[in-house]
Every structure is written in structure tokens, then in C-alpha cells.
Amino acid sequence: MSLPRVDYIAPWWTYWLHNFPHINLRFQGTDKSFQPEDENYQQSLIFLGCVAAAGLGLNLLCLAIYLSCLCCCSKDEEEESKKPNSCCVTWSAVAAGLITCIAVGVGFYGNSETNDGVYQLTYSLYNANHTLGGVDSLVTGTMGNMRTGLHQHLARLDEIFATRGDYVQTLQFMQQMADNVIKQLLGLPDWDVSKVDLASIADQTASVEYYRWLTYLLLLILDLIICLLACLGLAKQSRWLLTTMMVFGVLTLILSWTSLGADLATAVGTSDFCVSPDKYIMSQTKGIITADIVHYYLYCGWTSLGADLATAVGTSDFCVSPDKYIMSQTKGIITADIVHYYLYCNQTLSNPFQQPLTIFQRSLTTMQIQIQGLLQFAVPLFPTAERDLLGIQHLLNTSEASLHQLTALLDCRGLNKDYLDAMVGVCYDGVEGVLYLCLFSILAACAFTVMLCAIPRAWRQIASRERDYDDIDEEDPFNPRARRMGSQNPNHANMHSFCSYSSSMGSQTSLHPPAPTVSNAPMPEYMNQTALFGGNPRYENVPLIGRGSPPPSIYSQPYRHRYSPTMRATYLSMTEEQSRHFGGDFQA
């Protein structure tokens, strides 16, 4: 009893992609069957790429309109409007960063899945090529032994047995059996003449996949770097960094839409193949391999209901109907029955090689019986014939071993397993990975669109803040720039302070500020600020100076801690200075 095996069933997403409109460049509907050589089918895939190009153009047009409106429309510079705009830029940057991170994660997964699917395809192709190469090597070796080695031995034995007519007839009969074996081997497909080199196809596929994988890896890294640098530019408010990232953002946006078009066309084309691969294989092998052989290898182990169901579903394209493509590719090289045998490998199907292999086996058995008889009866009479008879026996044993290996290699289960593994790799992992790459392209396009909308606003806010900073009055004592300049200019330390007094006596311009009393107590905050503004304390801000009366802390215990020792020392210094200058005017 044979072990159960998993049949190939096209996944649902291949049917979904297969049902995409197939329209050529003349806007006419085309057949959805996988026909890569057909011009209309090629145009239908190019049309999908043009749809992505149209999306790119529309995206760039919307960005251009947005930037034009941002530059032309007047902007309210009031304080109330600054905070919401800043929040809008911040949230836009956060959204763009999150979407980019999600897109990069999806892209890495899709790139890995696609690579795994293509690797499984190439691995199956190498295995199938090894099988076919083994078949070709066995057939070539057996035919060479029959044509050269056996013929030489029979020629020498014919000379030795020339006097015995019955032995000569036995040798002639063996020659007929050898010719019959050669005839049966010639009926097998000659893969070398058919130029079916699956190894070269696998090498080309692996090379293309490597560069595709590397390109997407660099694109993913580029997207992540641009996003991080753009966020850094927003955080540091660097105008040149934001401008540079905006240029790279436009470039990445173009690459995202381009990759989306390429991935979409690839996914749809591959799905057309996955829907019905057997029919394409049948069409490609028509005239090269008989249909029963192709059918045997395609549907090996499939029930007739499953084969009919697989044929009926969809519209016969590659992942839904890959056999179509395979049939068409082997057309004129392998007969359709052979291709059908390997594609379906149905137990109800007879092996198309069963008859020639059976004749091969019977011919070898007959020849071995004849050799055994000659060894038993002719060697005692013709001792010199023993060497050639043993040589023929060894050759027949080698041919029988080759026959068993050939029978195992030509069985549909080996090649059909490679076929199913390749289809699963392409139509499951491969197409699924390409769909994730399409999602990555869409998310990346959205993220960089948001980023390109946020960067000009941030750039304009930075420019507005710098312009407002330049418009500040340098003579304003509350200007931070004046504070910095005052602290850096030592000449301000010798400027005279103007004190306001309640009395109108004397000229205040002749007053000099008293020398401050050294104290370890901290300077009050308002005096510290005035020292920063002008270089010296502003004494007109000190309470009670100019009133001619002592601070309340001298007389009142509850207010002892209201004024610091520095304030009291300053008051006493000013009182003594006023007494010397004005005499007794301030006496009570």
C-alpha cells in the first residue's frame, strides 16, 4: 500500500491575483492564461506596472499641490497658532516613523519568504536535473556497452564458434536481443538532444534572486536610515538635514512605487502560472515528450477527481494551472503523455516507460540464459571462449543493474515530488512573500508621503523662529541676547546706576553707587536678574531705598526674615552716602 501524499492545491491568493483584470496597452481584455511568449499577455503585465506609475504620478502631484499651498497661503504667526502647528508636525513625524518601522518589518518578512520560495524552487530544479542527468547517463552507458562491448565479444565468439552452427545461431540471437535493447533505449527521451538543462535554469534563477534579495535589503535599510535621520533633523531642528532627507524621501517614494509595480506584475504573472501549471507544461512539451508520459509525471498519485477539480478551477493559468505552461514548454521535445505522467503521477495512469523497460528486462534475461548455456556446454569444447563469455556476462549484469536504477529514476514519484516542492515554493512562499513586499511598498509610500508633508512645515517653523529671534530689540533688558552680551562686556561693571528718591533735592546725576558690602548670603532673585541685565544691581527696585527710613526688620520682630542681610547692608550704605552728600536734609 502506497503512502498518502499531499496534492498540489493552488492557494487562495493566487486565485485572487489571477482574477485581476488583464488589459493590454490598447485597453483590450486578454486571456488570463499564463503565456509569457504572447505579446498581449506581456502587455497585460506591463499595464499593471503602468498603474503603479500612475499612482506615483498622482502621489507626486498631490505633494506638489500641498507644497504650493503651503508656500503661497499666508500663515498666522500668533502665539496661539504656534503650538497646534508644532503638535501637528510632531504627530506627523511620529506617525511616519511608526509606519516606516512597520513597513520595514513587513518588508524583511516578505523578502525572506520570497527568498525561501525561490530557494525551494532552485533546489527542486537541481534535484530534477540530477534525476534526468542520471537517466541520460544510464541510457548512454547501457547503449554504449551494447553497441561496442557486446558487439566486440560477439564478433570474437563468432570466430571461435565458426565450426558450430548452433552456437553461431545463439550468438546471432543474442545480437538481435542487444539490438532490441538499443531500440527500446532509443525510445526514451533524450534530454541532451532536447536541451532541457534545468541546472542552467536554476543557476539563472538563483543569480536573479540573489540580486533581487540584495536590492530589497538595501532598500529596506535605506528607508530605515532616512526615517531615523529625518526624525533626528526634526529633533535638532536642522534645516540642511531636513532638506537632504526630503530629497532622499522623494527618491525613496519613487523606488517604493516602482517596486510596487514590479512586485504586482510578478505576483499576478506567477499566480497565472500557479493556477494551472500542468497545462502550460503540456503545451511546452508537445511534440517532444508524449502526452501520456507528461501526464504520468504531473499527476502521480492524484485521483481523477482531484485532477478534474484542479483543471476545472480557475481559468487554467500557472499557480492555478501550472501544467499548461509546462506542457507548452516541452512541446516538440517530450511527448505529452510523458509530461502528463510526471505532472500528475496518478496511480491509475500506466507508466509510459513500462513497455520498453519490460522488453529491456526480458531481453537481458534471455541473453543471460543463453550465456549460461554457452558457459556450461561450449567452454569445455572451446576454452578460449570463456573469457569473452564471462565478459558478456559481466556486461549483462551491469546492464541489469542499470535497468533497476533506470526504472527507479523514471518512476513518477521522484520527479513529481520535485515538481510539487517547486510549485509549493513558488506559489506559496514565493507569491506570499511578493504580496508582503507589495504591502511594504504601499506602507513605505504612505510613510514617506506623510514625512514629506511634515518636513516643509517643520522647516518653515524653524525659519519663523529664527526670524522672530532676529527681530528682538537689542536694547531690551529682557532680551536674552542682551543678557549674554552684558555678561561678556566688562565695561558694564563701571556704569553708574540711577537711584530714584522721593525727595526732589539735588541732582541725581552726581550720585555714585555705593560699594556693595561683602556677604555670603545669596542675592535675591530680582537683584540677580538685574545684575544679569545691566551688570550692576538696579537699586531703584530695592524696596524702601530713598524713603529715609530704616527697613521694618530693624524694629519689628515678625518681619525679621523678610529682607536679606545684603538688602540691609545696601540700605545702610545708601543712607550714609546720602547723609554725607545732602547734609541734614534727611534728618527727621
Tell me the three cell numbers of residue 1: 500500500
Contact at 8 Å (CB) between 438 and 13? Answer: no
Nearest to 370 by CA among 139, 176, 163: 176
Whether the Cβ atoms of residue 354 and residue 406 lie closer than 8 Å to each other? no
Q: Which of 289, 86, 299 is nearest to 191 (CA)?
A: 289
Q: What are phi and psi of 303, to 5 degrees?
A: -75, 160
CA triplet 193, 195, 201: central angle to 5 degrees?
160
What is the grid cell recorded at 387? 573469457
Q: Kindly report the number of other CB atoms within 10 A of residue 457's CB atom.
A: 16
Q: Please, are residues 253 and 299 in contact by the beta-carbon 8 Å criterion? A: no
Q: Whole-angstrom Cα distance, residue 330 to residue 38?
A: 16
Helix (H) or strand (E) holding 550: none
Q: Which position has the grid cell 527507479?
A: 408
| Amino acid identity for residue 207 in this structure | S
Q: Are 271 and 13 in contact (CB under 8 A)?
A: yes
What CA–CA distance (Å, rounded) separates 56 from 49? 11
**Residue of 79, 58, 90 lying closest to 457 (CA atoms):** 90
Give Cα separations from 278 to 72, 222, 317, 348 (angstroms).
61, 41, 9, 17
Q: How many CB atoms lie within 10 A of CB 43?
A: 17
Question: What are the pLDDT tens digits along the chain (588 aa)?
Answer: 344 445 678 888 888 888 888 888 888 888 777 877 888 888 888 888 888 889 889 988 988 888 888 777 655 544 444 444 567 777 888 888 899 899 999 999 999 999 999 999 999 999 988 888 888 888 888 888 888 888 888 889 888 888 888 888 988 998 898 888 888 888 777 666 555 678 888 899 999 999 999 999 999 999 889 888 888 887 777 778 877 888 888 888 888 888 888 888 888 888 888 887 777 777 766 666 666 666 666 666 443 323 332 222 222 356 666 666 676 666 666 777 777 777 777 767 677 788 888 888 898 899 999 989 988 888 888 888 889 999 999 999 998 998 899 888 888 888 888 888 988 898 888 999 999 999 999 999 998 888 888 877 777 666 555 555 444 445 555 555 544 455 444 444 444 443 444 444 444 444 454 544 444 444 444 444 444 444 444 444 445 444 445 555 444 444 444 555 666 666 666 666 555 655 555 444
8 Å CB contact between 370 and 378: no
Sign of the Cα torsion 295, 299, 302, 306 reads negative
pTM exceeds 0.85 for this model:
no
